[in-house]
Structure 1
Amino acid sequence: MESVGVANFLFMILGFVITAQAQDCAPPDGGPNRVLVDADIGLTVFPEQSKATFSCVAGYTASGGSKFVICAGGTWSVLTLTCERKSCGSPGELHNGDIKYVDGDVLFGHTITFTCNKGYNLVGSSKNGMHCEAKGWNGRLPTCEVVTCLPPPDLTNGRFSDVKESYNFGELVTYKCDGALILNGSVTLTCSENETFMPDPPTCIKVQCENIENARRIGGAPPPYGYKHHVTFKCNPGHGNEETHHLDCGLDSQWLPALPKCERVTPTDGPNGSGTTWWQSWWFILLAIITCVAITACGCRYFGCLSFIKNKKGYRGYSGNVAAKDEEGEL
């Protein structure tokens, strides 16, 4: 009887041990970037020795390890599945532009942006950038299209070439004035990146510098004087100094350097710097007096002026008796 009792006791202990080892498991935790597959997601209890299967989350792909774990004694085995980000691969080549990899790579969750070269514009729904998603890039690569300009303004009294309906970035037009008019401004305009021609269009103007009065031309272009005409001249005698002047006709119809004046010169200073004219100077007055005296003296000598004076005033060695004798002799 004692042996039966001992055997029952041992069976009871073994039953408790087996019961303690065969415990169910709660749903396992996969950790970062790993989730249970759809078949296991709805289970709340996993029996002893059952398996749970994991997969990588969206945007990640399995790179090694086992995707299964086993419930043993209420505890799950270690999950060795490793997951890494998916790569969206190269987005392609952006002609006439550049791609900037904001995060330095093309992996899931990363972003790329775009810029075009000068003279080109980004066109497309993804021009603001694209993101690498679980299924790849979330858009199509944009394009860089060349900037175009409408024809430039017409030129009054002139024209430009070549004439077209539109112009691409960097293309030039050349302006030219009609007749003898001069182009004031840039000869060429360029289609710029802001879709307009630069710089501002020129104008056609008439350039004619004034004649040089009281002067004689000794070299250079004859009148009328147009733009960039060069003239060498001197003032006429009595109209300024005898220096040689060199002038160029400027775009504003003014001589460069400034036109000197050839004005008539009037003597205003005597030899002593007194500020009197030459006929008011003392030497001229003295000379005039001496000349008058000399003329008077010479005239009297030859025309009897002194004899007349002697008869009126008297003269040494002369007496009235002499006159009486003469009168008597005549009688």
Structure 2
Amino acid sequence: MAGCLKASWKPRLRSLFLGTAQLLWFSALISELVTQKEVAAWTYNYSTKAYSWNVSRAFCRRHFTDLVAIQNKNEIAHLNDVIPYFSSYYWIGIRKIRNKWTWVGTNKTLTEEAENWADNEPNNKRNNQDCVEMYIKSNLAPGRWNDEPCFKRKRALCYTASCQDMSCSKQGECIETIGNYTCSCYPGFYGPECEYVKECGKFDIPKHVLMNCSHPLGDFSFNSQCAFRCAEGYELSGPSRLECLASGIWTDEPPQCKAVQCRSLEAPIHGTMDCVHPLAAFAYGSSCKFECQPGYQVRGSNTLHCTGSGQWTEPLPTCEAIACAPLESPAHGSMDCSPTAGAFEYNSSCTFRCADGFKLEGRDAVQCADLGQWTAPAPVCEAIKCPGISAPEQGSLDCLHAHGEFGVGSTCRFFCNKDFELEGSKDVECTVSGKWSAPPPTCKGGTSVPFPEVQCPALTTPAQGTMSCSHPLGSFGPNTTCYFGCKTGFTLRGANSLQCRTSGQWTAVTPTCRAIRCSELRMDTAVVKNCSNPWGDFSYGSTCTFHCPEGQSLNGSARATCRENGHWSASVPTCQAGPLTMQEALTYLGAGVASTTGLAVGGTLLALLRKRLRKKDDGKCPLSPHSHLGTYGVFTNAAYDPTP
């Protein structure tokens, strides 16, 4: 029978441990101890039978916690006082493991403070004394220890631990004491049961700082961690993370958020800069506006903003000189500009003059203004003209015009009819003064006749054209000049004027008028085109009409006309597939049925026909070659088409 004794009882009942009365008493104690196992104190128990060390430990672990583990000599004195005497003594929970005496219940090696060997012990007699007994109530060595072979039979001296799973709030080490325990708190915890956590306390969050904290043990307490970042446009100055230490102090001071800095800017050459700095000079939110001096213009963006990334929205602009369009010397003239670099920048000026025989039409001087425009258009040099002259009576005139009709450099030669003599200069020239080199001559002698005997072939007005002639010596006689033009939509092919020479031949062949041509129309393959071309394919006046095969609708204009500017009045349309009406479908099938039943049958027949024809010709059904559509088409009715 096994029995046990609560350690707080006194040894005054020692003499009762005999006979039947002893057995009954320990049985009652077993029942009492079982009911007190939840008491939060370290209590001592023992068996009433003797076992080997291994069996004794199994007994203690089955009924209590383990064989007793002794921490100091006060505990030894207490055990010697409360545990009854037994001749074979008691096993305690220490054993030699890898040549070290170790408390098996706590897995801690024997300390000098708890050591209580009897004299000359341990002696490891016969080399197998690996277990330890305690001399309870020994006259010679009370409470002392002796190493013994583990197979010997002794009472088991057990303990019930005071420390439980939740002892010290799981935040400290539970240390057993006689009849109780104490807590050695882990860093960061305090209190009798280590139930309190060290607090670091809250701190003020600086402006623009964003904080995210985790508090595993309580707000702003030991092991709390706070991470920091800044709002857009700001950057951290200080640590990005703080931790509450076991000492109740934060690892650092909270950081600050400072505005992001962009690089400093300066006004461009020939320009000014005006900046606004709401936070700090050239920091996030700053904006700078740029202007240029007169005669210069901003190249780039005229306003920059400092962004949250520390970059300006655009590169720094520059002020470039305003330039006017380049000028060139007029034909038959010269140009002189200042400055002479030829850049034609703001305030540049140019003067013009003409060669002899030419006069300036326009301003003789222009200047580049601040908006990049000249103060006046560039002038031109026009040839000085001499008064117009005509052939003498009974004579003819043949002129060559170098710079326009009767302009400077023009030369004219005079001829007289048969039986007439020229009186005066035969040749005259238009000089730079605007005067002829000699007066026009006359033809003297002979009999005056109304028309010369020399005549050019008569001219006719070209088709779709106009003709206007002057006949100083009679119809189509020498010096007759004819001018040609074309009607709207036509263009002249050839010289625009002809003159009858004294030889009786025109200076060129009669010109013709040709219709202006538009671009060739490129059609959608399904579009049917019908064109009328009065003056040739795709020429002025051509009109084209468009339509689509049955079952398709026209997307665009149904008519286009070639205009006088060479462009069509509308773009080429396209054909878009669309459903046929039931009546149209029945018409194509040769069924003039209008009833509901007839429509349904017609729709079914149309679907079957389409499906069959699709297999034959990829879904296209040719209409009659003589259809009013003028070409093949495709008909379809999506509403009654069962195929995808």
Q: Per residue, is there more helix in 1 or in 2?
A: 1
TM-score (norm 2): 0.24
TM-score (norm 1): 0.42
